[in-house]
Amino acid sequence: MASFTDQLERCVLDIGHWLSANRLKLDAGKTELLFASSGHCCAALKGSNPMLKLGVDTAVASSHVRLLGVNILLDLSVDHHVSRVCAGCFC
């Protein structure tokens, strides 16, 4: 897992450099981290809290993230999103 996170950190660093070169900024405070995998691997990750260094900031893995308005869970299901949309419809 360490080599994978190192590669991912380097990739995010390269993206940050590209953004800077194009007068844009990576907002690490709004960056969410989701390690998505099979149910077996998700169970193995629950004990540890994977994190990713984004320059001086650190992104900690979450059980769900919001991507373009859709809530996505660790196992890539949208059950959480459907529940929230249904709850909003009853208001």
User: CA-to-CA distance for 3 and 51, rounded, in angstroms?
Assistant: 13
CA distances to 20, 28, 43 from 37, in Å: 32, 23, 10
Structural tokens at position 3: 């080599």
User: What confidence tier does 87 reach under pLDDT thresholds 50, 70, 90?
Assistant: confident
Q: Is the pLDDT of residue 68 over 80?
A: yes
Q: 11-61: per-residue pLDDT in tens?
A: 888 888 898 899 998 887 777 777 776 666 656 555 566 777 777 777 777
- C-beta separation of 78 from 71 below 8 A: yes
Please give the model's pTM, rounded to 2 decimal places: 0.57
Provide the pLDDT for residue 21: 94
User: CA-to-CA distance for 16 and 10, rounded, in angstroms?
Assistant: 10
Provide the pLDDT for residue 1: 53
